Structure 1
Amino acid sequence: MTPTRTPVPSPRQAAERRGCPEDTSAGLSRRGLLRLGLGAAMVTATTLGGARVAMAAPGAPADVLVVVSLRGGMDGLSLVVPSGDPDLLRWRPSIAVPGQQLHRVDEMFGLHPAMAPLLPLWDAGTLGAVHACGMVAANRSHFEAMEVMEEAAPDSSLRTGWIDRMVGVTGADSPFAATGLGLGAVPTSLRGPSPELVAQSLAAVGVTVDPAGVPLSAWQESLTMLHDGERHELSGPTHVGTAAAARLQQLPAVGAYPSGRLAASLADVARLVKADVGLRVATVDFGNWDMHSGLGTAEPGRWMYDQVATLSAALAAFAADLGPQLSRVCLVTLSEFGRRVRQNDSGGVDHGYGNAVLVMGGGIRGGRVHGRWPGLSEAALVAGDLAVTTDYRDVLAELLSVRCGVPDVAGTVFPGLRPAPLGLARSS
């Protein structure tokens, strides 16, 4: 097996794969990716720096965190609809979801009708939302907003990603500790010194052996000897890649899922969770939310409706597949920004600010919308956008500290953050 270099996507290719074809202001070629006959998998290790601190205390909860990145700027005002706000219809006379089509959750909010597959989870308290959530400062560039959100270290010189820092804090050493699936490029959130496994799918990960039938164990032994004494950035990908390939041979079968890339990625995540391979955090992408025109009404065949239906069906299948093991998983959706409050002349909405976040899984106080609603009056908006009243890092920090057993989150994972818990999660 001869190591070769995997071509790094061009800025345009990488941006298009992430659902942002119009924004290629910077490149994603931040590091070389060593490919060791691992199909489409990318196994990475870098020396960009980042603190390594003590592991979580024994007995602390250790949920798996799953991040679903809704790339392209998902319209939270259409997903978790503030139908009780008197200004909504004034700003969105033709695209606001009518109240009678919503699943009402309180006097202010209702859920988009395409979220029907998730209603049992919502009503059971396993799924909840946070509204008016986002970054501390507005950034309406797809690429720049993604970078800032995934670094999660504003006003800091850190250039590592928050997921990489989180894995470092826990001291996790599994080849699957930080896994990205359904990805065409390494996201900023995984940038840092820890080896990470990134692949289009688990099926794409495998070590090619020659026709003589050399067993995988022999390849592992040979590669270990070959890289003995080498720098971490050279030896790390080799060890992670071969260990992952060996472990993948023992994974359970895939559960029942709808078609589509998101569902396939979540099915792979569920297999890793059920196999107990040391997964601490998984990140998957679901793009195509950049609805500048033709967002559509709340009926099948319309852009927003079909996107929400695909998302909801995949999340519902993931929860059903995990069954009781959903109790040790926390899933959160993130999008780089929300959309403008006012619809445009093309029946869409342009880049905005505040957004809605979904949270699902173990220990979640679901069945409700968390956060402070700022309102949609002219005076309450920020340059025409929904204001942010909850820092998205507060959502992540609460999940990491309460459910995932990560110590000193503000000092290690999110430098400079002064956590403001939402009461979103309860400890085990």
Structure 2
Amino acid sequence: MRDTFASLHPDCPDWRRLGPTQADAALRAGAAAVVADAEDRESQWSRGFTRRRLLAGGLGVGVAATQLVTTRVSWAAPGAAPGGTLIVVFLRGGMDGLSVLVPADDPELLKARPSIAVRAASLLNLQRGFGMHPALAPLVPMMTTGWLAAVPAVSTPDLTRSHFQAQDCLERGGAAKSSMQSGWLDRVLQELGPGTTFRGLGLGTRMSRSLLGSSNPIMLSSLKDFTVKGIDGVAPQTLAALKTLYTGIDHPLGVQGLDALQASAQAQGYAKQQEKPAKERGYPDGEFGASMATLAQLIKAKAGVRVATVDLGGWDMHTDLGTVDGGDMTNSLKTVATALAAFAAELGPELDNTTVVTMSEFGRRVEQNANSGTDHGHGGVALVLGGGVKGGVHGKWEGLAPGVLDQGDVPGTNDYRDVLSEIVMRRLGLSEAQAGKVFPGWKPAPLGIMA
């Protein structure tokens, strides 16, 4: 290795002296060579050592080791008017809509769920005979101001009780048998056009299927940890060397490398604007609360976020769903409500331009099972919160009479594409024709969710 790198730095034959570690020293040596011989690069690198080989050969510094940066280009400067933000919260596992948005005056509910149904006296009254689970009490201010809407009997067009198939259908934005490969939010970003580095975000450790495609979103867990990591903590000289090495490479690696460095620098700047941890700002413990807190920071910093996804699992409650006094459903809903309430409070006036929609792959069967839980069903519930929302209950609801049910399930009388297409048109400004490209083969029929 000494022979390979010996003459890289014009003023330091022993390249190992250039950094505290061999990796840093090699990067700095390579960058110095680029600068020293910029007018004759091809000749300089023809000796068998290239920047591409350096970066691919195990000596490069990784970007946010467990976080993938896939931004292709930063089209606009931070601070550019975002024109509105849509946040999609996916509640994975098949949330029981009848425990969240409860048809309190339907006599069939107590017959089907004698031990787990939420009684009318405990509900937060909403509209049209429906009430919300009392664990959602932190959202009462939004209910009062008319900034919380609910849609019952929401579903995919196909009856499937498979988590994988239903989630895939929702996130692709089509029917279960559709051949579309990209996600619906990727197509939203394509229709929106250029934006900032942070225009498309996946929060957490798993990139949502809805963002997959050519829009190249960023995946991050936290702003503080979204940084370039090196063995010595990445000294300024190493960062400068990386920027030099990635500059001028006619390859996607060069563009993405520079974007990664730029995004990392911006993220650290945004992180410094908020010193209080998420819990001190009212968010619950855990990844979901931390993700919502990160989103609030970016939106307030005017980072240009247009769409973002956040996941929360644990909704597959086959056993011991619980009661309003405790249990899995109550605990999970408290987490959601506390995080969303803190998010709304932190955004303040910025909430006027932000809409949050919660969705789940399917609802649960109407009748409780023998384990005081519920099994996979069909129609579920979507909640929509934030600016521009028309509060109340929207969409078609036919009740729970035996003749109405679909094989024991709440029927899917409200197609999820009608919910989402209305939101992207009103919140993000897409035309009906553009919404048709986001959801191919579907003509949007707004439900009145957005004012």
Q: TM-score per shorter chain, which class?
A: 0.7 to 0.9
Equivalences for residues 7-22 of structure 1 within 5 A: none
Name the aligned partner's letter for residue 108 of structure 1. G
Equivalences for residues 386-397 of structure 1 within 5 A: 386-397=410-421
Q: Is residue 139–residue 337 contact of structure 2 (8 Å, CA) maintained in 1?
A: yes
Q: Is residue 151–residue 161 contact of structure 1 (8 Å, CA) maintained in 2?
A: yes
In the aligned structure 1, how far is the partner of 2:409 from the partner of 2:434? 30
Name the aligned partner's letter for residue 281 of structure 1. V
Matched, 1:374 2:398: yes
What corresponds to 1:246 in structure 2? 265
What corresponds to 1:346 in structure 2? 371
In the aligned structure 1, how far is the partner of 2:164 from the partner of 2:207? 14
What corresponds to 1:321 in structure 2? 346
User: Which of 33, 37, 41 matches 2:63?
Assistant: 37
TM-score, with normalisation over the residues of structure 1? 0.83
Query: Shift in Å at residue 419 of structure 1?
Result: 0.6
In the aligned structure 1, how far is the partner of 2:255 from the partner of 2:184? 20
CA distance 1:215–1:162, change in 2 (3 Å): farther
What corresponds to 2:408 in structure 1? 384
What corresponds to 1:225 in structure 2? 247
User: Which of 173, 177, 187 matches 1:165?
Assistant: 187
Matched, 1:303 2:328: yes
Query: Shift in Å at residue 220 of structure 1?
Result: 5.8
Q: Is residue 108–residue 400 contact of structure 2 (8 Å, CA) maintained in 1?
A: yes
Equivalences for residues 81-230 of structure 1 within 5 A: 81-154=102-175, 156-182=178-204, 184-209=205-230, 211=232, 213-214=235-236, 218-219=240-241, 221-225=243-247, 228-230=249-251
Query: Shift in Å at residue 202 of structure 1?
Result: 2.4
Query: Shift in Å at residue 107 of structure 1?
Result: 4.6
In the aligned structure 2, how far is the partner of 1:215 from the partner of 1:256? 39
Query: Shift in Å at residue 170 of structure 1?
Result: 0.8
Query: Shift in Å at residue 390 of structure 1?
Result: 1.2
Equivalences for residues 234-273 of structure 1 within 5 A: 234-235=253-254, 237-251=256-270, 252-253=273-274, 255-273=281-299
CA distance 1:281–1:222, change in 2 (3 Å): same
Greater fraction of residues in helix? 2
Query: Shift in Å at residue 303 of structure 1?
Result: 1.0
Paired positions, count:
376
Q: Is residue 69–residue 284 contact of structure 1 (8 Å, CA) maintained in 2?
A: yes
Aligned partner of residue 139 in structure 1, secondary structure: coil
Q: Is residue 425–residue 435 contact of structure 2 (8 Å, CA) maintained in 1?
A: no
In the aligned structure 2, how far is the partner of 1:80 from the partner of 1:294? 19
Unaligned runs of 5+ in 2: 1-22, 25-59, 73-80
Aligned partner of residue 350 in structure 2, secondary structure: helix
Q: Which structure is larger by alpha-carbon Rg, 1 or 2? A: 2
In the aligned structure 1, how far is the partner of 2:190 from the partner of 2:134? 40
Q: Is residue 203–residue 221 contact of structure 2 (8 Å, CA) maintained in 1?
A: yes
In the aligned structure 1, how far is the partner of 2:349 from the partner of 2:282? 16
Name the aligned partner's letter for residue 191 of structure 2. V
User: Which of 310, 320, 330 matches 1:284?
Assistant: 310
In the aligned structure 1, how far is the partner of 2:308 from the partner of 2:211? 10
- Tell me how large the CA RMSD over aligned residues is: 2.2
In the aligned structure 1, how far is the partner of 2:242 from the partner of 2:192? 26
CA distance 1:89–1:219, change in 2 (3 Å): farther
Q: Cα deviations across residues 35-73 of structure 1 (Å, max 9, x unaligned)?
A: 932143112379xxxxxxxxxxxxx99210001110011
What corresponds to 2:54 in structure 1? none
In the aligned structure 1, how far is the partner of 2:303 from the partner of 2:242? 18
Q: Is residue 126–residue 143 contact of structure 2 (8 Å, CA) maintained in 1?
A: no
Query: Shift in Å at residue 236 of structure 1?
Result: 5.3
What corresponds to 2:6 in structure 1? none
Query: Shift in Å at residue 246 of structure 1?
Result: 1.2
Q: Cα deviations across residues 222-260 of structure 1 (Å, max 9, x unaligned)?
A: 25326x2114xx445424422210111221315442322
Matched, 1:332 2:354: no
TM-score, with normalisation over the residues of structure 2? 0.79
